[in-house]
Amino acid sequence: MDDEKPITEQAMETITTAVEATKDAAVIAVKKVRKAAKKVAKKVAAKKAKKSSKKAAKKASKKAAKKSAKKSAKKAVKKSAKTAAKKKKKAKKSKR
C-alpha cells in the first residue's frame, strides 16, 4: 500500500483492479464454455447423424426387402403359371 495516497483512493484502485481481473476471468470463462459447447454440439450432431443414417439404412433395407419379396412372389407366380402351361402342352402332346 502506498502511504502517500488517501485510503479511499487506494481502495478504489484495489477494487478497480479486482473488477478488471474478474472481468477478464469472466471473458476467458465464457470463451472456454463456448468452445466446450461447440465440441459437445459437434459430438451430439455426429451421434444424431449416425443414428439418423442408421435409421435411414434400416428403412431402406426394409423397403428393399419388401420390394424383393414382392418381386420374387410375382416371379414365382409367373414361373408356376408357365410351368403349368408347359405341363398342359406336354400332356396334350402325349395324348396324341
Is 88 domain-assigned?
no
Q: Classify each residue of 5-27 as buried b or exposed e, where b means 16 or more C-beta atoms within 10 Å of its C-beta.
A: eeeeeeeeeeeeeeeeeeeeeee
pLDDT of residue 83: 81
What's the average model confidence in pLDDT over 48-56?
84
Q: How many CA atoms lie within 13 A of 75 on its CB side?
A: 6
Decide if 94 is inside a domain.
no
The pTM is what? 0.42
> What is the C-alpha to C-alpha distance for residues 72 and 20, in angstroms, rounded to an integer?
76
Task: Give a yes or no: residue 45 inside a domain.
Answer: yes
Please compute the mean of the pLDDT values over residues 57-81 and round it to a whole number.
Answer: 84
Query: Does residue 29 form part of some domain?
Result: yes
Residues 7-45 pLDDT 10s: 888 889 999 999 999 999 999 999 999 999 999 988 888
Q: Which of 5-14, 64-73, 80-89 has the weakest average pLDDT?
A: 80-89
Residue 56 lies in a domain: yes
Residue located via cell numbers 419388401: 66
Domain count of the chain?
1
Report the distance separating Cα 19 and Cα 70, nearest Å.
Answer: 74
